[in-house]
Amino acid sequence: MSSEPGRIDPERSEQRDLAVGDTIVRYTATDRTNHWIVAIAFVLAALSGLSMFHPALFWLSNLFGGGSWTRILHPFIALVMVIAFASWAARVGSDNRMTATDWRWLARWRDVVGNHEERLPEVGRYNGGQKVLFALLIVCLAGLLLSGCVIWRAYFAAYFPIPIIRAAALVHAVCAFALVTLIIVHIYAGIWVKGSVRAMTRGTVTSGWAWKHHRAWFREVTGAARSRPGAD
């Protein structure tokens, strides 16, 4: 590795699927495709759900061919979102387990907000905030899936009493509101941390970005590259 922090010496890095020149692969094409399927499905599910939430928003149903088609398509779009997210979660779940370092990172939230990352503990592929967001997304999606099945008139609603259906509708609305809020936070954070959007569009980040924001992950990735036979 180069003596200059934040750069990878190309002559000493032969694991081309991890590090190429001054960039590091953060997300594969499969990862990015999965992410954008979830993102697109979320937008469609949110718009169709909002059209049924309040009469003032019913005009949004025109995007889906009218009220009847909106009611038909909404749960299926939501299922696509949940299945795609579950596939993503299965791949990155191990990277999102909370550690003592993550709790220390969260405790320094003032430095996080103040962008004083030099004062924060080194984090791996995901920081404590991202891991908390990941856990909350799982809770919200699980709540939406279970409550959605209860109020899905075409298939399951007939098996539940009216009070349960009403309670499920309330849970569905609360989880949907929480999910939309979390996604707004996710988008804001992605824009706020310069270079993060590139990770989900091109799949790579600069080694300087990795060194600054996810230094433990940077050490792991570049260390793996150097440890391969013939890498030196």
Cα 193 to its chain centre, rounded Å, is 15
Burial (0-12, 13-18, 19+ Cβ within 10 Å), 164? middle
Q: What angle do CA 169, 172, 178 make, to 5 degrees?
A: 145
DSSP-derived 3-state class of residue 149: helix
Question: Which DSSP category does 47 fall into?
Answer: H
Relative orientation angle of helices 29-53 and 162-192, to the nearest 10 degrees: 130
* Catalytic center residues: 186
Alpha-carbon gap, residue 44 to 28, rounded angstroms: 25
